[in-house]
Structure 1
Amino acid sequence: MKRLVLTALILAMATPASAQMQATPIERPKMAEIPLYSAAAKDVDNEQWEHVSGRFGQVVIENTTVRNVTRPTITPYLPDPAKATGAGVVVAPGGAFMSLSMSSEGEEIARWLADQGIAAFVLKYRLNETPRDWKEYMKALGQRMAQASRNDIGAGLKEARATQDALAALALVRSRAKAFRIDPSRVGMIGFSAGAMTALNATLEGQGDARPAFIGYIYGPMAAVTVPADAPPMFNAIAMDDSLFKNQGFAIADAWRKARRPVELHAYERGDHGFGIGRPGTTSVGLLPQFTAWLRMHGLLGDRAVSSRP
């Protein structure tokens, strides 16, 4: 069964044996991208965009993904100025550091946040090079995930460049706070799967104000980490039937609690891995409303914190 769910981190969906997935090459979508760095001659733009589709059970998968990213960017999704809260969120899609789930864990998340008055910035971070042929790529993904899963399925999935890009994205967004109409002290991250690891590593490796002001840690590995004394608040969400991390308990949330840092944990009964904006028919659809309510509770949306009364 482990091998069957290896595609989860790339497709942002757990995939049973009966699923049939296919990828169709597409042109690079037109987006208002902002480069994180000046382009270097050695960083050849070799991005490969694909529309991934298929079905498992009653769920139809339609997702836009990108591979072989060498030139990282952010794409802003800004709210109507009339309802802007002043908060900003860098959104980090997942994909095992071999791909990015740009629609289900990027654009859909960002548009929802912007509609709530929260400026969102989808981070397209650098990835490991993969074969351009889909079947060869899937084979390489399976080998990488099998190697990582021999001990801890999250252990072999760190990518230093992604962490560097996350910190650079935070710095860029804060440097343009006036143009984006945000408060630089209220810029955080939300990440999904490998994107959650990226947000976490930006928190663990960033120093002081370089860190995100808060993090949404969505279906990332749940193993314990050493939590900095000044770690930002964490919103942690996962499904109890997550195909990748359901056997790890909630150690990372407990580590935050033991470090006396704010943490909120949501463990949905169903949703599996990669539910993105929420798996229809499950309580995971409450993810983004709950995340927003949590931001408001912490006074991060520029209005009064929610009352402690029932």
Structure 2
Amino acid sequence: MTTKHLIIKSLILVLLLPAFALAQYKTESIWPGLAPGSENIKDQEQWSENSKVSNVYQPNITPFLVKTDSALKPALLIVPGGGYRSIAMNKEGYKLAQWANENGISAFVLKYRLNEVDGLRDAQRAMSYLRKNAKKFNIDENKIGVMGFSAGAHLSGLLTMNRYPIKKYDQLDTFSPKPNFWIPVYGVFGNIFGRWGSHYPIEDIPPIFIVHADNDSRVPSLNSVDLYSQLKRMGASAELHIYEYGEHGFALEEDRGVAVSSTVENWSQRCIAWLKVKNIL
């Protein structure tokens, strides 16, 4: 292929990208320099035209801040899904951050490395980063939660429930990575309890709001039912919403282009109501 053809192809791809993919969201690094373990990676990050990113080697967060007044805001670390193969940054990230802002919550979208071990360290670093910089972001350090979708729900579960000791990299790791609340949406949760299992201390489990569709063909809703059952056996505070229809990946619904149950569309309103009941909002 000639240079001319490559240039033309690149221009066509740019024109096909939606406007949000071209917007320069400000990001903040959660590691100084390259993240540990990424030093020898040679593949470049790949962004698709529907704003999914793969080959992540430099994790970061994208802040969406509420600036309506000087009062401290609750905060939400948003972990989009993608099966640990890519990350749906727009559909399960930026759009949810905008929804959070509309409801008075400052949000931070996490771009993480695509394996459980490195991804968990990235999520822990992000949570610690928010606590360290709570004043800078004008957020309440005691009201910082995490919301995850699909694989992001699994990763956010590891962040919430796993208590393996962290090997401290620098001073940032002295700030707690523990979320104050957890919102998993159509997730799979097989190993999130780690070695503690049912003996996990109840006081360490934050309030949890679980969402799933019963006709999910990728991740059966029994994953969320089993999670809820385990949490209740442990005496945790949890709320479970199973909708008959919605399939997998419904997020905020507006861009699915398919008919789904109207009831699944109200999960986000129920979530806001739950946050108010828990005095987070």
Of structures 1 and 2, the one scoring higher in RCO (CA 8 A, sep 6+) is 1
C-alpha distance in structure 2 between counterparts of 1:28 and 1:231, whole Å = 39
Q: Is the 8 A contact 1:240 1:270 kept in 2?
A: yes
Whole-Å separation in 2 of the counterparts to 1:92 and 1:251: 21
Q: Which amino acid aligns with 1:102?
A: M
> Aligned partners of 1:216, 1:83: CA distance in 2, in Å?
26
Quick one: distance in 1 between partners of 2:23 and 2:44? 14
Report the identity percentage. Answer: 33
Q: Distance in 2 between matches of 1:287 and 1:66?
A: 26
Question: How many equivalent pairs are there?
Answer: 237
Task: Return the offset for 1:222.
Answer: 5.5
Q: Do structure 1's residue 49 and structure 2's residue 47 form an aligned pair?
A: yes
Query: Is 1:220 the equivalent of 2:220?
Result: no
Deviations 1:1-35 (A, max 9, x none): xxxxxxxxxxxxxxxxxxxxxxx675775210001
Rounded Cα–Cα distance in structure 1 between residues aligned with 2:75 and 2:93: 14
Change (3 A) 1:81 1:200: same
Q: Is the 8 A contact 2:78 2:97 kept in 1?
A: yes
Q: TM-score by structure 2 length?
A: 0.78
TM-score normalised by structure 1 residue count: 0.71
Superposition pairs of residues 65-84 of structure 1, within 5 angstroms:
65-82=52-69
Conservation of the 8 A alpha-carbon contact between 2:244 and 2:261:
no
Q: 2:217 aligns with which of 221, 239, 243?
A: 243
Q: Deviations over 1:125-144 (max 9, x none)?
A: 0125xxxxxxxxxxxxxxxx
Alignment match, 1:143: none
Distance in 1 (alpha carbons) for counterparts of 2:183 and 2:161 = 14
Match of 2:248 among 273, 286, 289: 273
How far did residue 39 of structure 1 move? 2.1
State the Cα deviation string for residues 36-60 of structure 1 (Å, max 9, x = none): 1122353557111111xxxxxxxxx
CA distance in 2, matches of 1:223, 1:256: 13
Aligned to 1:8: none
CA distance 1:187–1:45, change in 2 (3 Å): farther
- Deviation of 1:81 after TM superposition, in Å, equals 2.8
Once the two structures are TM-superposed, the CA of residue 209 in structure 1 deviates from its matched residue by 3.9
Aligned-partner Cα distance in 2 for 1:281–1:65? 26
Secondary structure in 1 matching 2:250? coil
Unaligned runs of 5+ in 2: 1-12, 166-174
The 8 Å contact of residues 65 and 103 in structure 1, kept in 2 or not, is answered as yes
- Equivalence for 1:18: none
Separation in structure 2 between the aligned mates of residue 253 and residue 223 of structure 1, nearest angstrom: 13
Change (3 A) 1:290 1:44: farther
> Alignment partner of 2:180: what SS?
coil
Which amino acid is 1:173 matched to?
A: L
Query: Match for 1:30 among 5, 24, 31?
Result: 24
